[in-house]
Structure 1
């Protein structure tokens, strides 16, 4: 067996594929192999190197692609980048209807998703940073064309060998992220919902999606209350104590919320101002040294936190003449 593949339990394998140059470091691709059906969960970025890793694990595990399905937990390019490779081979692809719609609207730079991303960057006060959507990892490593898909929406059931999975709603990280839960086997494939050591990026998507952090926290509680012995997440190490990790993630976000409130006690703040005031686990010494590609994600996360505070009635915003948002604590006005 290849050195980046390991067997986790009967019929379940993990291929840990490097994401070179990305702070995520690697992605955990899961493969369920049974006599009558196989399932691959997520893909990695759309790069030649990751494609080579993918072809190698398919060969090493002797996967018959005629009886293999691909399950995409969510729309991010490190999970969907190679969807076209599988589609071209006739592999059935499952993804939630919500995230698939966003994917369809993000194939080209001029498509609605990327136009909205740039508009949000302006509203967040990021124009001064000179960001280009072509530097955004989600754009650089995306699928290049639309692909055939079968909806996998919360409440659906998928049988893979003796696994009876229910598709569960894990939205928050993306508007339509889903996982695969087998209650009898106490097993959950959770995508980026709960990660070891690092925290999933929760970003503000738009005002239609609304309070993404609130949604995420609600779905954290839901997963904590499930009977889970095997939690299979998409990055870093596997987690043994789900309840403990959920409490750590909740504490992390409360700290972020407190930092945002503290920033707004001093002045009315743009999202960029608040982003700069938060503590980030990154080698950059200050905001100016942040990689431009990561400024998109950092500002999106800060925006999600202030929008959660706004949903709680703690803050509100106004727009200046240029359409930039300024947030303020409601008890100051």
Structure 2
């Protein structure tokens, strides 16, 4: 149990490596109270992480008949082992309806959802990069089959022994991420909503979801005055000063917004790829063209989210060329 840390009464953490991924690791939490257990998220769908999760369960003496799994959002580093939890461990799974619907449409490798992801790369002007869906981390490590779940949405209540959690709307990073807030203990499990050492990826989903960045900025601001003694996020170091981190994240995205707008004003009409190429990234690569393909999906998605936010606030617009590629321009 040397790699398991007790964070507060009844709350434990195991940091599981995500080898070969820029995220480096994921924080997996366990809440134990009065014989009941809740595990928060799963890690990727790999044999290595499955062994890490089994070790966590065994080391903590978990009674699986009194255990639930809570999935904060649809990304594969949070849901990858969900089918295994259901089929092999018999654990009941709780998740928000919005993200479950999206995630369940991605279990099939040939689904419309994955085809839509590739169609979006065309809209973004990424054809020259020859991206393949097999290079997308969300595709490679996803749960391979649907699983039954218990619907858990904002304002729902979930009890685990002495803990009473309320669902919170953390949409933005994904269309329907859900946080868990324990008011009496001032504990918040926030998934990827607030991260300490890195910034959550805010991506363009589709035009139905719309301005994901605007949604995210609104929802992080609503945490500013929430009484929080323990903020438990999913990656890297834990955050101690929540208002300070909110300000840092807002400043980061304002800088990104300025980068995109300045590029459009100086260069004229640009594709999403053009904008991504002119943004500064914390990557060990000379420029966007040298990014690993798996990271081009995420970089373009983030650039696109900032362009769509600019469009939502009336500062840019786009037109489609005859091939269906989007060209954004400043107003």
**Could you say which TM-score interval applies, normalised by the shorter chain?**
over 0.9
Taking the aligned partners of 2:151 and 2:112, their CA distance within structure 1 comes to: 21
Q: TM-score under structure 1 normalisation? A: 0.98
Matched, 1:298 2:299: yes
Superposed, which structure 2 residues align to 1:218-229 within 5 Å? 218-229=218-229
Taking the aligned partners of 1:250 and 1:61, their CA distance within structure 2 comes to 38
CA distance in 1, matches of 2:188, 2:112: 33
The 8 Å contact of residues 33 and 163 in structure 2, kept in 1 or not, is answered as no
- 1:84-107: CA deviation from partner (whole Å, max 9, x where unpaired): 111012101001000000011101
Q: Which ranges in structure 1 are unaligned for 5 or more consecutive residues?
A: none
Output the aligned Cα RMSD: 0.7
Matching residue of 2:127 = 127
The aligned counterpart of 1:234 is 234
Contact 1:109 1:133 in 2 (8 A): no
Q: 1:254 aligns to what?
A: 254
Paired with 1:51 and 1:205, the residues of 2 have a C-alpha distance of: 29
Which residues in structure 2 correspond to 1:74-85 (within 5 Å)? 74-85=73-84
**Alignment-derived partner of residue 147 in structure 2:** 147
**Using the alignment, how far apart are the partners of 2:178 and 2:317 within structure 1?**
31
CA shift digits 1:102-142 (9 cap, x unpaired):
01110122212211111110000011100000110000000
| Range 108-117 or range 58-67, more displaced | 108-117
Partner of 2:38: 39
CA distance in 2, matches of 1:293, 1:225: 37
Q: Which deviates more from structure 2 when the two are superposed, residues 104-113 or residues 201-210? A: 104-113
Q: Within 5 Å, give how 1:130-279 maps onto structure 2.
A: 130-265=130-265, 266-279=267-280
Aligned partners of 1:288 and 1:126: how far apart in 2? 10
For 1:301 and 1:114, locate their aligned partners in 2 and report how far apart those are by CA, in whole Å: 18
Quick check: 1:170–1:193 contact (8 Å CA) kept in 2? yes
Would you say how many aligned residue pairs link Structure 1 and Structure 2?
Answer: 329
For residue 253 of structure 1, report the CA deviation from its aligned partner. Answer: 0.1
Post-superposition shift, 1:225?
2.1
- Structure 2 SS opposite 1:165: strand
> How far did residue 162 of structure 1 move?
1.3
Q: Give the TM-score normalised by the residue count of structure 2.
A: 0.98
Contact kept in structure 2, 1:204 and 1:300, CA below 8 Å: yes
